[in-house]
Structure 1
Amino acid sequence: MEKIQHSTIKTNGINMHIASIGTGPAVLLLHGFPELWYSWRHQLLSLSYLGYRAIAPDLRGFGDSDAPPLPASYTGLHIVGDLVGLLDHLGIDQVFLAGHDWGAVIAWYFSLFRPDRVKAVIILSVPYWPRNPAVKFVEGFRNLFGDDYYICRFQEPGEAEKVFASQDIEKLFEKVLTIGPDPRCVSKALGFGDFEAPGPLPSWLSPDDVKFYATTFKETGFTGGLNYYRSLDLTWDLTAAWTGAQIKVPAKFISGDQDIVYNIPGIKEYIHNGGFNRDVPSLEVVVMEGVGHFINQEKPDQVTAHIYEFIKKF
């Protein structure tokens, strides 16, 4: 069986690590926080078997890719620039794009900024978040959840890093990767990693998986990933020209009904009552019952099937 290949390329002023396997039409897989290319390990193998070239980078700030020190280097424009450079380096004109969590946010931006490079986009967990010209991103979360919400607390450089460093990192990943649906579990009252773990690891998450994440983040730290949150308002500033713009590429959105994002107040209404379709006219929506946030790892075969059934149309 063909093995996943690892390489490093230069793009947009940084060195980016990529994992890739297979030949055929390219599928670019974007991970979230606190994750790595490894989050797509199942889809890399399955999509290559189905006749696709599957590519999963460590995004800027993560894993074996470079991590510029300043939050201002992590706007949506920077990350999409990295990925356009990646496609150029690999000689890929158009790509099927899939993103989860922060990778979903970036995939939406990629589809907005450079629809000419995207055949279709598959989004896991995070719906399109249209820019509100009256309220910056962090202010919006603060208005909804208060100052203790994790995105608000992540804004202060060094604070979250100290909290993470004080914890057993393997236990931290066990908790984060099995997080429940209640958005309040990431408030200050329970700490960044002090919410209760579910007990024994679920069947989809092995001790080796946890160790892979923990070992990597022990080496790299969390600052690169946290800088995505710290650049949210700068991205809001820089994307004013796209206010009201629609995502025109064909899109499929997949969420679990136990996903913490799906259960944020107002999200279900946006997804199911017409707002999402207004912003993304060519849209399919799938909600999987009993599935949490890390959906591509929890239900890898079903997620791969959903991706394949969508992209084989194009």
Structure 2
Amino acid sequence: MEYIVHRTVEVNGIKMHVAEKGEGPAVLFLHGFPELWYTWRHQILDLSSRGYHAVAPDLRGYGDTEAPASMSSYSCFDIVGDLVALIDLLGVDQVFLVAHDWGAIIGWYLCMFRPDRVKAYVCLSVPFWPRNPKVKPVDAMRALYGDDYYICRFQEAGKAEGELAKNSTEEVLKKLLTNRTPGPPILQKEGMGSNLNTSMPLPSWLSLQDLKYYASKFEKTGFTGGLNYYRNINLNWELTAPWTGAQVKVPVKFITGDLDSVYTSLGMKNYIESGAFKKDVPNLEEVIVQEGVAHFNNQEAAEDVSNHIYDFINKF
């Protein structure tokens, strides 16, 4: 880990922290919630050893990257703008893109808005989800799962932060990162910080040192930056009206775990397996479903994910 280089760069009006290692074609890694560049620690070391320049930023609002105060500063246009500026700064025309969770959603936007900048995309956990012009996505989620569905509960500014503050940052992150319950995440009515089982041992793929690193950063920043991504879901729906019906045409490999809460809710499994995903992403080359693996597959099944990434991008 000490061989990973860290620097701060200016992109799109903010200061962004970037972790990188290696030389060769650029691979841009995008993390999700509640994560950091650190979620890609295994892939950075693996891909850099195989002749690639691995680049993993803290996205806006996270870690050592600036967190604008305005909630609306976390729209898909703002975040994709950060990434296009970062790609420019790397001095390359195109990157291989690898992304997970919210990073995956931003990855789909990047591929949709600027396909000229993405050579190929390895997407983890969250497939492309086409825009439904008839209903706002948060409204659709509320109708399907109710007000206690986690994305619905995240909408009100400050409320989720207050609930999370009932426990230590380390305990909250442990709960979020190690959850293996498939299906839609429905939160307890008494609050997200309630009834945490803090005695559960850490899984083999998440060390106490890893957990403390995450906690040290979120203790400084809080969770608001990351939660603001969720609070812009309906705004993103409004902003992307011109892309209704648009296909994503970059080459794609999709990897998920069969216990992933995204794969097992919102009709995602049927969408992926029915051919609808392939229709929206015509150059979807492969779908990998990892058995016995939950949401944070880039950490839980790190070696397998690294090999899948390499096998795919090495073709180009």
Instruction: Name the TM-score class by shorter chain.
Output: over 0.9
One-letter amino acid of the counterpart of residue 309, structure 1: D
Cα distance in 1 between the residues matched to 2:186 and 2:29? 26
On the 8 A contact 2:155/2:230 being kept in 1, the answer is yes
In structure 2, the residue matched to 1:264 is 265
Are positions 1:124 and 2:113 aligned together?
no
One-letter amino acid of the counterpart of residue 260, structure 1: S
On the 8 A contact 2:136/2:234 being kept in 1, the answer is yes
Query: What displacement does 1:184 show?
Result: 4.4
Runs of 4+ in 1 over 6 A off after TM superposition: none
Q: More deviation in 102-111 or 169-178?
A: 169-178
On the 8 A contact 1:186/1:192 being kept in 2, the answer is no
Report Cα offsets for 1:150-196 as digits up to 9, x if no partner.
11111111101111122122111111111123334442347424465
On the 8 A contact 1:19/1:37 being kept in 2, the answer is yes
TM-score (norm 2): 0.96
Query: What displacement does 1:148 show?
Result: 1.1
Q: More deviation in 168-177 or 179-188?
A: 179-188
Q: Percent identity?
A: 60
Report Cα offsets for 1:71-119 as digits up to 9, x if no partner.
2111111111000000111212100001100000000110000000000
On the 8 A contact 1:179/1:260 being kept in 2, the answer is no
In structure 1, the residue matched to 2:10 is 10
In structure 2, the residue matched to 1:140 is 140
Cα distance in 2 between the residues matched to 1:172 and 1:183? 20
On the 8 A contact 1:175/1:195 being kept in 2, the answer is no
Are positions 1:153 and 2:147 aligned together?
no
Q: How does 1:28-43 map to 2 (within 5 A)?
A: 28-43=28-43
Cα distance in 1 between the residues matched to 2:107 and 2:2? 27
In structure 2, the residue matched to 1:292 is 294
2:17 aligned counterpart, secondary structure: strand
2:10 aligned counterpart, secondary structure: strand
Report Cα offsets for 1:182-227 as digits up to 9, x if no partner.
3344423474244655821111110011111111101101111111
2:315 aligned counterpart, secondary structure: coil
Cα distance in 1 between the residues matched to 2:313 and 2:89? 23
Query: What displacement does 1:42 show?
Result: 0.4
In structure 1, the residue matched to 2:239 is 238
Residue 14 to residue 189, structure 1, CA distance change in 2 (3 Å): same
TM-score (norm 1): 0.97
Are positions 1:311 and 2:304 aligned together?
no
2:96 aligned counterpart, secondary structure: strand
In structure 2, the residue matched to 1:72 is 72
Residue 57 to residue 305, structure 1, CA distance change in 2 (3 Å): same
1:129 aligned counterpart, secondary structure: coil
One-letter amino acid of the counterpart of residue 10, structure 1: E
Segments of 5+ residues of structure 1 without an aligned counterpart are none
Q: How many aligned residue pairs are there?
A: 314
One-letter amino acid of the counterpart of residue 89, structure 1: L
Query: What displacement does 1:2 show?
Result: 7.7
On the 8 A contact 1:70/1:227 being kept in 2, the answer is no
Query: What displacement does 1:265 show?
Result: 4.0
Cα distance in 2 between the residues matched to 1:195 and 1:22? 43
Cα distance in 2 between the residues matched to 1:170 and 1:61? 19
On the 8 A contact 1:6/1:19 being kept in 2, the answer is yes
Q: CA RMSD in A?
A: 1.4
In structure 2, the residue matched to 1:19 is 19
Q: More deviation in 159-168 or 223-232?
A: 159-168
On the 8 A contact 1:181/1:258 being kept in 2, the answer is yes
One-letter amino acid of the counterpart of residue 281, structure 1: P
Cα distance in 2 between the residues matched to 1:180 and 1:141? 21
In structure 2, the residue matched to 1:207 is 208
Q: More deviation in 257-266 or 190-199?
A: 190-199
Cα distance in 1 between the residues matched to 2:310 and 2:124? 14
Segments of 5+ residues of structure 2 without an aligned counterpart are none
On the 8 A contact 2:22/2:49 being kept in 1, the answer is yes
In structure 1, the residue matched to 2:115 is 115
Cα distance in 1 between the residues matched to 2:190 and 2:102? 23
Report Cα offsets for 1:22-77 as digits up to 9, x if no partner.
00000000000010000000000000001000000000000000101112111111
On the 8 A contact 2:150/2:185 being kept in 1, the answer is no
Cα distance in 1 between the residues matched to 2:256 and 2:194? 25
Cα distance in 2 between the residues matched to 1:155 and 1:208? 31
On the 8 A contact 1:34/1:225 being kept in 2, the answer is yes
Are positions 1:55 and 2:70 aligned together?
no
On the 8 A contact 1:12/1:85 being kept in 2, the answer is yes
